Amino acid sequence: MTKIIKDLKKEDYVKIGDAIQKGELVIFPTETVYGIGADATNEKAVDSIFLAKGRANDNPLIVHISNFDMMKDLTEKPNKMEQLLIDAFMPGPFTLILKKKKKIPDNVSAGLDTVGIRMPDNEIARNIIEYAKTPIAAPSANLSSRPSGTKIEDIKEEFDGKVSYIVDGGETKIGIESTVCKVIDGIPTILRPGKITPEDIKEVVGIVKLDEHIYKKADGKVESPGMKYKHYAPSCDTIMIYSENDTVFLEEMKKHLKEHTVIIGSKEHESYFPNNTYLSYGSKNHFDEISHNIFTLLRKADGLKPDLILIEGVKKEGLGIAIMNRLIRSCSYHYIEK
């Protein structure tokens, strides 16, 4: 039976650390979203993550560390550009793809010779890793294809009985998963956008590139989660619409309205849809607020069992790139921009 723990004391960390050492699963908070974690060096324990989530085993996992000595045990020595990124963005909502050592089982990396490494900027997460005395492989805590969990109320029923502990750390601060980056031919390339934006990386190292699959599905082997499969998705039909022209946007939205349509959009447009259930994600220009709210709102909208969910997109700049990346996948690439 799954135990929920809040306000952790030392003895709680000891119990959770012991559970991970025994190959059990634990759900814990990070600054991005909740993760479902297991000992990253235990192949059998890692297999149980895929089973609990219903996740395809060709979708790699991110390995979470609490100190840089762990990184030395897991990956080859970073090159100069990689080290600059590590120094600038770790700990934080940033994952770096590096050449792995044999200590990382193949099921963590989907058979690739690389692995994503992240050091969370969350005290609970880092303490759990410390007490477990091992790196933790942890994708987002949600059933595969479903929206990620940003508070335990969103996910506890999905995983009750599947994990030993759920650690309640309250709502996560950021609300979307980490930026995933790989240095390719000397250029930091963002495979999955997140809170660390292209502008942030360019400011540190002077150059950055977005992977071509940021807004479209990747086929074959992928080095980052969130590139290949339907993700973050409600169970009903979902369409996202965006236009910088308010008149065009509102006309397009009204074309698609059905009898039972739920709208997720900006507070600026709420008054235009008095006859629909409208879930405001906040101001359309406040990307931090939107990223914090979007996964919970997707779950809330889905729970209302509508015929259709319509989502208002945002401008593809800064953190808006990450928000649009998630939303395009949440609507299974059914996206209209005018």
Residue 112, domain CATH: 3.90.870.10
Q: Residue 246 domain-assigned?
A: yes
Per-residue pLDDT of the chain (338 residues; tens, 9 = 90+): 899 999 999 999 999 999 999 999 999 999 999 999 999 999 999 999 999 999 888 889 999 999 999 999 999 999 999 999 999 999 999 999 999 999 999 999 999 999 999 999 999 999 999 999 999 999 999 988 788 899 999 899 999 999 999 999 999 999 999 999 999 999 999 999 999 999 999 999 999 999 998 998 777 777 777 665 556 678 889 999 999 999 999 999 999 999 899 999 999 999 999 999 999 999 999 999 999 999 999 999 999 999 999 999 999 999 999 999 999 998 989 999 99
Pair (117, 38) in one structural domain: yes
pLDDT of residue 231: 63
Pair (190, 282) in one structural domain: no
Total domain count, the chain: 2
pLDDT of residue 230: 58
pLDDT of residue 36: 97
Pair (246, 133) in one structural domain: no
Pair (111, 196) in one structural domain: yes
Neighbours of 144 (CB within 10 A): 17
Pair (74, 137) in one structural domain: yes
pLDDT of residue 171: 96
Residue at which a domain ends, from 194, 210, 226? 210
pLDDT of residue 145: 75
Q: Residue 231 domain-assigned?
A: no
Taking a C-beta distance cutoff of 8 angstroms, is the pair 295, 149 a contact?
Answer: yes
Residue at which a domain ends, from 193, 210, 227? 210
pLDDT of residue 227: 66
Pair (149, 189) in one structural domain: yes
Pair (147, 51) in one structural domain: yes
Pair (149, 262) in one structural domain: no
Pair (163, 198) in one structural domain: yes
Q: Residue 227 domain-assigned?
A: no
pLDDT of residue 209: 97
The 3-state secondary structure of the chain reads: CCEEEECCCHHHHHHHHHHHHCCCCEEECCCCCCEEEEECCCHHHHHHHHHHHCCCCCCCCEEECCCHHHHHHHECCCCHHHHHHHHHHCCCCEEEEEEECCCCCCCCCCCCCEEEEECCCCHHHHHHHHHHCCCEECCECCCCCCCCCCCHHHHHHHHCCCCCEEEECCCCCCCCCCEEEEEECCEEEEEECCCCCHHHHHHHHCCCEECCCCCCCCCCCCCCCCCCCCCCCCCCEEEEEECCCHHHHHHHHHHHCCCCEEEEEEHHHHHHCCCCEEEEEECCCCHHHHHHHHHHHHHHHHHCCCCEEEEECCCCCCHHHHHHHHHHHHCCCCEEEC
At 247, which CATH number?
3.40.50.11030
Q: State which residues form the domain around 81.
A: 3-210
pLDDT of residue 233: 72
pLDDT of residue 229: 57
Q: Residue 158 domain-assigned?
A: yes
Q: Residue 229 domain-assigned?
A: no
Q: Residue 20 domain-assigned?
A: yes
Distance (Å, whole) CA 201 – CA 318: 11
pLDDT of residue 226: 65
pTM: 0.94
Pair (72, 167) in one structural domain: yes
Pair (159, 100) in one structural domain: yes
Q: Residue 215 domain-assigned?
A: no
Pair (294, 255) in one structural domain: yes
Q: Residue 78 domain-assigned?
A: yes
